[in-house]
């Protein structure tokens, strides 16, 4: 693999709780190659959104990235950068889009002006130049009638159009990495497909890498090159899209895939993973999935499973996988 | 002293013209102004008349006193003074509105039928005195509001946005101020600063910012967590810029309502101060205070009270009406579609 665009090394994030700090994300290592789309999949509360925020150092107080973590972006350690340089990277080199297009735009400012702000923040473009660029961007993200729409206020646009504005804003500076935190969760199904198409096309035409956070394997199937599955603050499995979708190794990944409704399984009862993600600080010893795993055995409750490489691109943290690969 | 107020008038008018020209370049402000005019024509005209009277009363120069009295010959007299000529346009004592004879004794007046609202105990024309009060009221209302709002915004927004130590500090200050009865503090401050319009403005400002500060802080706390603020941060926007571009515009409608409400509340609280004898000379409050005793006379002397109250009421009503419309216009969520 070529030099990664972004790599997380041993990333841990903690929040204060009764009796000390609790790590909500622990020892996450990930990397994204230039132009690649990586999907991070997991249930609510598994730490995927906070991992994404950590990449631009935007974890809300009193959260903290633990010492020993490293975030390398284009060869620089983001955690060691001064605040002003970090700000220059946000928006310009790393763009972000959020889950809620309804509330992610300032309600009292025209949308064109908000996108223009994103441009003028990082360049010395004149207002007229920046305005022309906004119209281009609106055309690029498929907003009809862009010349008129730049004067619209957010409440005058539909959810899909607002998410397109958000994408235009995030892509305004042609960032090398786009972080999309559940970009389609708040949209209905037809709009969802359009927005995913747009993200994929933009990524292909500009060479921007995408880190997509989702809980939806449908989204994974449509856009991801590689997939990382997160559970209880850890990456439990990673691999290419084909590997994860066709041959998941970790019982959690298998469970997630089985719980998707499918056309060929009509009439049968949908399988589910029993229980829910344990809260941070209440994670079991040994494998963190041992309270819900259908294949749990004694070793799982005692020993933390190591990362087992299954193929050059696939790896999982599970004792079963380790035993199988040894056999 | 006269030249200071003359220059201030020129600066104010020049500033207003400049502000109007800058604002008219932006479509948003042009449309807002047009909308405001469409909705509150009468109230705007009323405010305009009040401002005009206050400006006329602020431009003054020495000389031209008709009675040739040494006392007034070297005093600067405003345009209002020159129109009414109060040195000669007066009676011996009370006279009823438009009366031909004096209230007591029935002697023929110097200017029969000319005093629209009669004259007070010293024979001064009530219309003239009430009009002189316009300047005082606008000065106290506007100047104190301009003092209160920046202080409250600075403290409230930074406390809400940055939180932690700054919030603790601001909250401590607010609690201390709120724990002292405000009237007591006001009186103490005026005693310390001395009497005078500016001193009263400062005293009212020091005691008056807490309420708005609390509103600004609460609103900022809410907005700080808003998704669009997170989105702005993710774009690399600095804290100062977030405050000016994303927080302040979203509490602009609050600023406008508060400006109007403080403005009217201040004009009214000056009345209370005058009642306690520490008000500003020539204010409506003083006129109302003096009218207190006149109300118990038989037959009743009501025109002094009426003159001051009518103007006070009209001003407060007009300002509130305009502020109400401004709030609706400033808030894009209540704005009509398709303009």
What is the Cα Rg of chain B in Å? 24
* Residues of chain B numbered 3-22 and touching chain A (CB < 8 Å): none
Mean pLDDT, residues A233-258: 87
- Does A108 contact B237 at a Cβ distance shorter than 8 Å? no
**pLDDT grade for A161, boundaries at 50, 70 and 90:** confident
Q: What is the pLDDT of residue B66?
A: 60
- Does A166 contact B226 at a Cβ distance shorter than 8 Å? no
- Does B227 contact A91 at a Cβ distance shorter than 8 Å? no
This model of the complex carries an ipTM of 0.77
Is A2:A173 a contact under the CB 8 Å cutoff?
Answer: no
**pLDDT grade for B67, boundaries at 50, 70 and 90:** low
Mean pLDDT, residues A127-133: 88
- Tokens linked to A291: 């309270």
Is A210:A221 a contact under the CB 8 Å cutoff?
Answer: no
How many residue contacts between A and B have a Cβ separation below 8 Å? Answer: 73
Q: Which of B217, B211, B216, B229 is nearest to B255 (CA)?
A: B216
- Does B226 contact A103 at a Cβ distance shorter than 8 Å? yes
Q: What is the pLDDT of residue B44?
A: 92
Q: What is the pLDDT of residue B49?
A: 93
- Does B333 contact A107 at a Cβ distance shorter than 8 Å? yes
- Does A117 contact B238 at a Cβ distance shorter than 8 Å? no
- Contact status of A104 with chain B (Cβ, < 8 Å): yes
Q: What is the pLDDT of residue B314?
A: 92
**pLDDT tens sequence across B172-222:** 998 888 888 888 888 888 888 887 788 888 888 888 888 888 889 988 988
- Contact status of A122 with chain B (Cβ, < 8 Å): yes
- Does A106 contact B238 at a Cβ distance shorter than 8 Å? no
- Give the C-alpha separation, A46 to B84, whole Å: 80
Q: Which of A32, A57, A42 is nearest to A178 (CA)?
A: A32
Mean pLDDT, residues A238-247: 88
B226, B231, B334: best mutation site toward chain A, by most A Cβ within 10 Å?
A: B231
Q: Which of B337, B302, B292, B309 is nearest to B35 (CA)?
A: B337
- Give the C-alpha separation, A12 to A68, whole Å: 8
Chain A residues touching B245 at Cβ < 8 A: 106, 109, 117
- Tokens linked to B225: 């967590």
Q: What is the pLDDT of residue A298?
A: 86
Mean pLDDT, residues A50-66: 85
Q: Which of B158, B152, B194 is nearest to B174 (CA)?
A: B152
**pLDDT grade for B47, boundaries at 50, 70 and 90:** very high
What is the chain A residue with the closest CA to B247?
A106
Residue B244, pLDDT > 50, answer yes
Q: What is the pLDDT of residue B169?
A: 92
Beta bridge partners of A8: A30, A71
A49, A82, A108: best mutation site toward chain B, by most B Cβ within 10 Å?
A: A108
**pLDDT grade for B65, boundaries at 50, 70 and 90:** low
| Partner residue opposite A109 with nearest CB, options B230, B249, B331 | B249
- Give the C-alpha separation, B195 to B211, whole Å: 25
- Contact status of A108 with chain B (Cβ, < 8 Å): yes
Chain B residues touching A118 at Cβ < 8 A: 235
- Number of Cβ within a 10 Å radius of residue A29: 15
Q: How far is B322 from chain A (nearest CA, A)?
A: 21
**pLDDT tens sequence across A82-97:** 888 888 888 888 888 8
- Give the C-alpha separation, A299 to A304, whole Å: 9
User: Quick one: what percent of chain A has pLDDT higher than 90?
Assistant: 2
- Tokens linked to A172: 């305004």
Mean pLDDT, residues A234-255: 88
- The secondary element (H helix, E strand) that includes residue A178 is strand A177-181
**pLDDT tens sequence across B68-94:** 555 566 677 788 777 877 777 777 777
- Contact status of A153 with chain B (Cβ, < 8 Å): yes
Rounded to 10 degrees, the C-alpha dihedral A240/A246/A250/A256 comes to 100
Q: What is the pLDDT of residue B338?
A: 39
Q: What is the pLDDT of residue B337?
A: 44
Residue B130, pLDDT > 50, answer yes
- Contact status of A90 with chain B (Cβ, < 8 Å): yes
Q: Which of A194, A173, A179, A222 is nearest to A48 (CA)?
A: A179
| Partner residue opposite A108 with nearest CB, options B232, B233, B250 | B250
Q: Tell me the Ramachandran region of residue A131: left when phi exceeds 0, alpha when psi lies from -120 to 50, beta otherwise.
A: alpha
What is the chain B residue with the closest CA to A179?
B234
What is the Cα Rg of chain A in Å? 21
Chain B residues touching A108 at Cβ < 8 A: 249-250, 252, 331-332
Would you call A181 exposed, middle or buried from its count of C-beta atoms within 10 A (0-12, 13-18, 19+)? buried
Q: What is the pLDDT of residue B339?
A: 36
**pLDDT tens sequence across A1-31:** 567 888 888 888 888 888 788 888 888 888 8
Would you call A205 exposed, middle or buried from its count of C-beta atoms within 10 A (0-12, 13-18, 19+)? exposed
Q: What is the pTM of this model?
A: 0.74
Is A211:A35 a contact under the CB 8 Å cutoff?
Answer: no
- Give the C-alpha separation, A56 to A256, whole Å: 28
Residues 6 or more apart in contact with residue A115 via CB below 8 angstroms: A134, A137, A138, A150, A165, A168, A169, A172
**pLDDT grade for B48, boundaries at 50, 70 and 90:** very high
- Number of Cβ within a 10 Å radius of residue A176: 21
Q: How far apart are the first and last CA of chain B?
A: 49
- Contact status of B250 with chain A (Cβ, < 8 Å): yes
Q: How far is A183 from chain B (nearest CA, A)?
A: 13
User: Quick one: what percent of chain B has pLDDT higher than 70?
Assistant: 93
């Amino acid at each position: 693999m070529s030099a990664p665009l972004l790599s997380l090394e041993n990333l841990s994030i903690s929040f204060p709780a009764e009796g000390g700090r609790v790590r909500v994300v622990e020892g996450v290592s990930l990397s994204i190659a230039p132009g690649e789309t990586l999907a991070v999949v997991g249930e609510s509360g598994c730490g995927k959104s906070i991992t994404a925020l950590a990449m631009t150092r935007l974890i809300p107080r009193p959260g903290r990235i633990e010492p020993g973590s490293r975030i390398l972006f284009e060869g620089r350690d983001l955690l060691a950068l001064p605040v002003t340089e970090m700000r220059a990277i946000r928006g310009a080199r790393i763009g972000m889009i959020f889950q809620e297009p309804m509330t992610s735009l300032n309600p009292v400012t025209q949308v064109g002006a908000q996108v223009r702000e994103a441009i003028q923040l990082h360049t010395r473009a004149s207002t007229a130049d920046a305005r022309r660029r906004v119209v281009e961007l609106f055309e690029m993200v498929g907003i009809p009638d862009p010349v008129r729409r730049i004067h619209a206020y957010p409440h005058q646009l539909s959810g899909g159009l607002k998410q397109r504005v958000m994408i235009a804003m995030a892509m305004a500076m042609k960032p090398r990495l786009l972080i999309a935190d559940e970009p389609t969760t708040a949209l209905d199904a037809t709009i969802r497909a359009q927005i995913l198409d747009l993200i994929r096309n933009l990524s292909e035409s500009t060479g921007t890498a995408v880190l997509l956070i989702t809980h939806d394997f449908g989204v994974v199937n449509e856009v991801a090159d590689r997939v990382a599955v997160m559970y209880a603050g850890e990456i439990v499995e990673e691999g290419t899209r084909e590997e994860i979708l066709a041959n998941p190794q970790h019982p959690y990944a298998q469970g997630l895939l089985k719980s998707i409704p499918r056309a060929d399984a009509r009439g049968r009862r949908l399988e589910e993973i029993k229980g829910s993600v344990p809260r941070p600080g209440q994670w079991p010893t040994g494998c963190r999935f041992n309270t819900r795993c259908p294949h749990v055995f004694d070793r799982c409750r005692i020993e933390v499973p190591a990362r087992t490489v299954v193929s050059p691109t696939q790896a999982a943290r599970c004792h079963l996988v380790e035993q199988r690969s040894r056999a | 002293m006269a030249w200071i107020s003359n220059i201030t008038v020129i600066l104010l008018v020049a500033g207003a013209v400049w502000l109007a020209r800058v604002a008219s370049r932006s479509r948003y402000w042009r449309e807002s102004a047009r909308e405001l005019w469409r909705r509150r024509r009468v109230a705007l005209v009323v405010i305009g008349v009040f401002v005009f009277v206050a400006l006329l009363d602020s431009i003054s120069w020495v000389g031209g006193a008709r009675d040739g009295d040494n006392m007034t010959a070297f005093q600067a007299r405003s345009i209002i003074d020159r129109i009414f000529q109060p040195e000669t346009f007066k009676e011996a004592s009370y006279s009823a509105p438009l009366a031909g004879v004096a209230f007591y004794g029935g002697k023929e007046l110097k200017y029969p039928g000319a005093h629209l609202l009669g004259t007070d105990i010293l024979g001064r024309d009530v219309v003239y005195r009430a009009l002189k009060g316009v300047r005082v009221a606008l000065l106290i209302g506007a100047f104190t509001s301009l003092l209160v709002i920046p202080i409250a915004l600075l403290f409230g927004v930074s406390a809400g946005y940055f939180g932690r130590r700054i919030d603790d500090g601001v909250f401590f200050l607010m609690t201390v101020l709120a724990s002292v009865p405000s009237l007591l503090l006001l009186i103490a401050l005026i005693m310390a600063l001395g009497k005078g319009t500016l001193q009263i403005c400062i005293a009212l400002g020091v005691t008056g910012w807490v309420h708005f500060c609390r509103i600004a802080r609460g609103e900022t706390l809410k907005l700080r967590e808003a998704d669009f603020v997170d989105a702005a941060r993710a774009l690399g926007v600095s804290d100062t810029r977030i405050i000016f571009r994303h927080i302040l515009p979203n509490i602009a409608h609050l600023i406008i309502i508060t400006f109007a409400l403080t403005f009217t509340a201040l004009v009214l609280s000056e009345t209370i101060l005058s009642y306690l004898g520490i008000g500003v000379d020539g204010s409506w409050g003083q006129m109302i205070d003096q009218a207190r005793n006149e109300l118990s006379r038989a037959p009743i002397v009501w025109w002094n009270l009426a003159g001051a109250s009518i103007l006070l009421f009209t001003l407060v009503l007009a300002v509130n009406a305009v502020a109400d419309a401004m709030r609706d216009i400033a808030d894009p969520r209540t704005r009509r579609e398709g303009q």
